[in-house]
């Protein structure tokens, strides 16, 4: 009788160890699978005072799928030019003419080559008369 109880405890212990090992390796591998693209080198810099319709630029890493880059300023879509430079993408655009005398966020959305999403951006102070 004691041998059966001991055998049952041993089987349950082995089963629980295997189940927890499976769960932890599964979650760590899913975290490694998503390498988000990096977006940096914002120009003009964060909180800079700029003229209306100023040009802006940033750099997206090589992990970025350039076809997925979307830029908006105060929810207004902005047309951008994307150029491949070495192992990254240089992105340039112009602030919408309708934005004057306000703070506005340049909002960037993109997906990586492995479909990981990235949202980034920065804030600019646009000169001019408030409409």
91 and 122 part of one domain = yes
Q: For the residues 6-14, what does the mean pLDDT come to?
A: 62
- What digits encode the pLDDT tens for the residues 61-91? 999 999 999 999 999 999 999 999 999 999 9
114 and 65 part of one domain = yes
5 and 54 part of one domain = no
In a domain? residue 1 = yes
In a domain? residue 95 = yes
Query: What pLDDT was estimated at residue 17?
Result: 59
In a domain? residue 131 = no
In a domain? residue 111 = yes
Query: What pLDDT was estimated at residue 34?
Result: 85
Rounded to the nearest integer, the mean pLDDT of the chain is: 86
Please name the residues in contact with 36: beta carbons below 8 A apart, sequence gap of 6 or more. 63, 112, 116, 117, 118
In a domain? residue 88 = yes
69 and 24 part of one domain = no
93 and 49 part of one domain = yes
pLDDT band at 130; cut points 50, 70, 90:
confident
44 and 76 part of one domain = yes
49 and 85 part of one domain = yes
Strands (E), the chain: 39-43, 49-50, 55-61, 70-73, 76-78, 80-85, 88-94, 102-111, 117-126
- Quote the domain boundaries for residue 99: 39-126
Give the C-alpha separation, 94 to 53, whole Å: 6
């Amino acid at each position: 009788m004691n041998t059966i109880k001991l055998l049952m405890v041993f089987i349950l212990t082995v089963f629980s160890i295997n189940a927890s090992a499976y769960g932890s390796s599964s979650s760590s591998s899913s975290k490694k699978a998503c390498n988000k693209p990096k977006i940096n080198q914002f120009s003009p810099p964060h909180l800079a005072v700029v003229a209306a319709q100023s040009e802006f630029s940033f750099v997206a890493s090589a992990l970025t799928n350039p076809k997925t880059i979307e830029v908006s300023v105060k929810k207004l879509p902005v047309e951008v030019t994307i150029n491949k430079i070495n192992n990254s993408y240089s992105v340039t655009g112009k602030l919408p003419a309708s934005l004057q005398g306000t703070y506005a966020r340049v909002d960037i959305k993109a997906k990586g080559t492995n479909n990981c999403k990235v949202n980034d951006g920065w804030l600019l102070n646009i000169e001019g008369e408030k409409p």
